[in-house]
Amino acid sequence: MNVLLLFCLVGAANALYKQWIPDTNYENKTNWDKEEVPCGNDIVKFSAQRKVSVFVETTHAVQEMKLPVDGEFILNSGAGFYVVAGQDPGCGAGVTTQFKDSESLQWFNPALWQAAAALDDLQRGNFLFSVHEESVPCQYDDVVFKARSSFRVDTSSSQSSIPVKSVSVLGKMFDSQPEFSQYVSSRSGRLQFHGPSAVTVGKPGCGDPSGCDCGNSVNHQRICGTPLLPLGHCCDVCGAIATIHYAAAFNLQSYRQRIHHLFLVLPKYKSIQLGMSKVFKSQRFMGIIPFGTSPEIQVVILDGEKGKQSEALARDIVKDARSHGSTLGITGAEFEASSGSSSGQSGGSAGMVVGVVFGILIIIAFIIIMVLLIHKGVVQMPSLPPLPSLSSLKRHSDVGELGGPLDHGYDNPMFDKPSLMPEVPGLYVTETNNSISLTQTGVHFINPVYDENETDFNA
Ligand SMILES: *[C@@H]1O[C@H](CO)[C@@H](O)[C@H](O)[C@H]1NC(C)=O
């Protein structure tokens, strides 16, 4: 299946069409254990215990047919079965062929869906790339089961319902819940949707110009089963992730178009797959204690050429976001590439700045309280050992010098390797170059965010 890139979402909201790929059609070879549609000399077998709904497009000759206890054929007009008297000349020696089991096909399997910006694009094969979590229908998406197709989907979920905007089955679109639940409880409906959770329709589309949260992270385990790197994707990717921090003026749809027109049309980015979505990243107080989430736009960029092009594109996107941020409603941007390189922080690192400021305030408050308590005699100062005399120092130096090279606390691998940093000067402007030295305590601490090495890359 060829996944094409198409980011001209003209007129469409930020919702997408997600189409279920597998079918249980009689005419689909892949549904038969012999990988061939049975013909007049063949014995056709459906497992007795299996429930299945099978769409039949045309007429078929069979030798014999073993039917399941519960199941149905959906016959296209003019479709049907007939038995050939004697031998069917166009058919081989005759085999027993069994209809494959479709019991285990899960709604939350990202490999079983394809996405497009419009219904036309689904038909034309202009599919969109997305992270795994968003390959599965999001709550504001339109779900499509192919028009001339039957299917069977297991709707097991970690929630009791799977909300979506609409569901199309056999060419009929359902966007009102009473009507859809009536269909699902019908005979066909029960054969097509099985599992403990119910698909529900009627969710409004995404009305937020900056995009909407897909809502599938509650089913992350089901979708992936393995830890991930980009939010919403299942496994580490060879490529790059750009993060865009946005303000009220930001519009996801026009930003997608901008990236398409500026970069994706360029021949050098031909092999790129790019997915853009709003995600909620957890914020950490001083980089450790989580205190909530903040929405941001995640741009996942993949390419087949060892990530070289994706890194270049990520760099272009960050550069563009930083130079035109004020008109685009972007407050900051940065990227990380699987090769290990990344951009410095900018603008959007407000959370980090706040964290550092708070940290300093807490330390100052602690010192003031300690001083007050000591002053009031609540806390006793421990009696300090007498300062070592010059002679004792000498003795120690015979044993071995303490100290050695100045301890810088810890190294941040991301910023301490100038060789990994971008070579283009002027691209990665940092706003501050502070380092914190608490020399009274003898601790020299360099804030990794504003490591001095970064000054090398300032304009
Ligand atoms: C047959 O089924 C396979 C897998 O379920 C699917 O990928 C393919 O598109 C189907 N073929 C047709 C002609 O619909």
Question: How do residues 293-328 score in pLDDT, each as one tens digit?
Answer: 889 999 998 876 556 788 889 999 999 999 999 999
At 53-100, the pLDDT tens digits run: 999 999 999 999 999 888 999 999 999 999 888 888 888 888 999 999
User: Per the structure block, which two tokens stand in for 283?
Assistant: 């914020």
Phi-psi category of 202—alpha, beta or left, where left has phi over 0 and alpha has psi -120 to 50? left
Domain membership of residue 15 (yes or no) is: no
Domain membership of residue 435 (yes or no) is: yes
Domain membership of residue 185 (yes or no) is: no
Distance CA 197, CA 159 (A): 7
Distance 150 CA to ligand 1 centre (A): 11
What is the best residue among 2, 20, 23 to mutate for testing ligand 1's pocket, by most ligand atoms within 8 Å of CB?
23
- Find the angle CA(195)-CA(19)-CA(155) to the nearest 5 degrees: 10
Domain that holds residue 432: 410-459
Domain membership of residue 334 (yes or no) is: yes
Domain membership of residue 84 (yes or no) is: yes
Q: What is the pLDDT of residue 49?
A: 86
Using a CB cutoff of 8 Å and minimum separation of 24, what contacts does 438-446 make? 443/409, 444/406, 444/407, 444/408, 444/409, 445/408, 445/409, 446/408, 446/409
In this structure, the number of other CB atoms found within 10 A of the CB of residue 437 comes to 11
Distance 382 CA to ligand 1 centre (A): 78
Ligand 1 atom 12 nearest Cα: 28
Distance 19 CA to ligand 1 centre (A): 12
Distance CA 339, CA 131 (A): 20
Ligand 1 atom 8 nearest Cα: 22
Distance CA 296, CA 331 (A): 10
> Number of structural domains, the chain?
4
8 Å CB contact between 420 and 411: no
Q: What is the pLDDT of residue 289?
A: 76
Distance 276 CA to ligand 1 centre (A): 28
- Among 82, 98, 114, the domain-final residue is 98
Distance 23 CA to ligand 1 centre (A): 6
Distance 225 CA to ligand 1 centre (A): 25
Do 327 and 268 lie in a common domain? yes
Ligand 1 atom 6 nearest Cα: 22
Distance CA 347, CA 336 (A): 16
Q: What is the CATH number of the domain that holds 276?
A: 3.30.70
Ligand 1 atom 13 nearest Cα: 28
Pocket lining for ligand 1, CB < 6 angstroms: 21-23, 28, 30
- Among 57, 74, 98, the domain-final residue is 98
AA identity, residue 252:
L
Measured from the Cα of 23, ligand 1's closest atom is 5
Do 231 and 317 lie in a common domain? yes
Measured from the Cα of 28, ligand 1's closest atom is 1
Q: Give 3-state DSSP helix, strand, coil % of the chain, rounded to 5.
A: 30, 25, 45
Distance 30 CA to ligand 1 centre (A): 7
8 Å CB contact between 133 and 110: yes
Distance 151 CA to ligand 1 centre (A): 11
Do 330 and 373 lie in a common domain? no
Domain membership of residue 234 (yes or no) is: yes
Domain membership of residue 113 (yes or no) is: no
8 Å CB contact between 155 and 164: no
> Is the pTM higher than 0.75?
no
Task: Look at the block and give the residue holding tokens 């550069």.
Answer: 319
Measured from the Cα of 22, ligand 1's closest atom is 5
3-class DSSP state of 198: strand
8 Å CB contact between 209 and 329: no
Ligand 1 atom 14 nearest Cα: 28
Q: What is the pLDDT of residue 173?
A: 96
Do the bridges between strand 166-169 and strand 172-174 make them parallel or antiparallel, or are there none, so unpaired?
A: antiparallel
Distance CA 309, CA 146 (A): 35
Distance CA 57, CA 78 (A): 8
Q: 252-259 and 308-328 are packed helices; what angle lies between their axes, rounded to 10 degrees? A: 130
Do 273 and 368 lie in a common domain? no
Do 245 and 335 lie in a common domain? yes
8 Å CB contact between 88 and 61: yes
Ligand 1 atom 5 nearest Cα: 22
Distance CA 229, CA 206 (A): 25
Q: Enumerate residue ranges in the chain where pLDDT < 50.
A: 1-13, 226-228, 346-351, 386-459
Do 263 and 360 lie in a common domain? no
